[in-house]
Amino acid sequence: MNPKFAIVGAGVIGRQHGLVTSQLTDRLELVAVADVVPDRAAALTAERGGRPYASLTEALAAEEIDVVVVCTPTGLHGTVAIEALDAGKHVIIEKPAEVTVARTDEIIRARDKAGTLVTVISQHRFDPSTEKTLAAIAAGEFGRVSSGIAAIDWWRGQSYYDSGDWRGTWELDGGGALMNQGVHTVDLLVAALGRPVEVFAYTGTLAHERIEVEDVATGVVRFASGALGVLHATTSAYPGLSARLQVHGDRGSAVIDNDQLAFFHATPVGQDIEERLMGTTRVTSGGGSGDTAGSNPGQLSDAHRSQYLNFLDALAGRAELRVDLETNRQSIAVITGAYESARTGKPVRLG
């Protein structure tokens, strides 16, 4: 029997998860949608199936539910996830898990007590471009990975922040360009460079009004391996450019731009590197090796679906869960550490 799903939060991202569940009706059944705005829940169920409820509490009392998908504002993720875990349910949480490391740890403790599965949406780890890059790193084809850059150069108009009372607040958004928009690219930097140990950052609110959080952040991250990473996140880059990850080693490099593999060069183990003058390789959409493996950045559901499939396979005991709470916790630690550094003007050690 297919697991029965409930989505909590029927806003923009909740509708995205509704789309994914509708694409996987052979593997799961959507039985409930809960939202504090009844019309939103009703609209999503009319489109994707299930019955609408005003809260997760009501849905749990009325329906047989196996998996709860948390799509509320970030600052409410923990409340909803823990209620689901206390009821013995498996949980999928839209990124990030919570707005602080401490609140993420509360979810971890609830998961351990429940003994159920929890994944946090980090769908870009499932992009072909990411998988190819991480496989090359693991195989030693990049040599010693020495540095990386996570850049999110986006634009959000003032209307975006004015569209909801929770947007741009510390309590419910957890941060601005770095936490809300940049978390996926920070996650990929951590995936490539390993365990982060220290961060130093500056932040500013320079192009928007009536928000508490930053619309630009810059920083540096030191990793346990000795590798160094650069952070740049903004929602003030009109008219909006791309999200970009660069990873560099002494035997190879990769550039992922808007989920596409814009450049890739790896040296197989045992093969000598070619000595080149610096700056002689041009990065283009075709890539240095002619390899353009990647996902279509316009097809958001493709990457989400891949992570759902991994979760469903793990639920059935056929695969390991590729993204857990501890994985996402590292990215949250980098981002909240950057905010603390910006506040104090000092580097922040990451536990």
For residue 336, give both structure tokens: 């909240």
Q: Which domains does the chain have, with CATH numbers?
A: 4-120 (3.40.50.720), 124-296+330-349 (3.30.360.10)
pLDDT tens per residue across span 198-227: 999 999 999 999 999 999 999 999 999 999
pLDDT tens per residue across span 149-162: 999 999 999 999 99
Model confidence band, residue 300 (pLDDT cutoffs 50, 70, 90): very low
Distance of alpha carbon 77 from the chain centroid: 14
In the chain, what is the straight-line distance between the N-terminal and C-terminal CA atoms, in Å?
A: 42
What pLDDT shows up at residue 302? 83
What number is the average pLDDT over the span 82-93?
A: 98
Asked if pLDDT for residue 297 goes beyond 60, the answer is: no
- Spatial distance between the Cα atoms of 125 and 129, rounded to a whole number of angstroms: 9
93: β partners: 70, 120
What number is the average pLDDT over the span 57-63?
A: 98
What pLDDT shows up at residue 282? 56
216: β partners: 204, 234
pLDDT tens per residue across span 13-56: 999 999 999 999 999 999 999 999 999 999 999 999 999 999 99
Cβ 188 vs Cβ 194: under 8 Å: no
Handedness of CA 50, 52, 56, 59 (dihedral sign): negative
- Look at 116-120, 132-136, 261-265, 283-287 and tell me which has the smallest mean pLDDT: 283-287
pLDDT tens per residue across span 273-283: 887 655 555 55
Based on DSSP, count helices (H) and strands (E) in the chain, helices before strands.
10, 14
Q: Helix, strand or coil for residue 198? A: strand
Secondary structure letter of residue 293 according to DSSP: -
**Hey, how many other C-beta atoms are within 10 angstroms of the C-beta on 181?**
19
Q: What percent of the chain has pLDDT over 70?
A: 93
Higher pLDDT, 290 or 137: 137
User: What's the mean pLDDT when you consider all of the chain?
Assistant: 93
Q: Give the orientation angle of helix 300-315 with respect to helix 12-23, to 10 degrees.
A: 60
Using omega within 30 degrees of 0 as the cis cutoff, is the peptide bond preceding 96 cis? yes
Element (DSSP H or E) covering residue 317: none
What number is the average pLDDT over the span 178-186?
A: 96
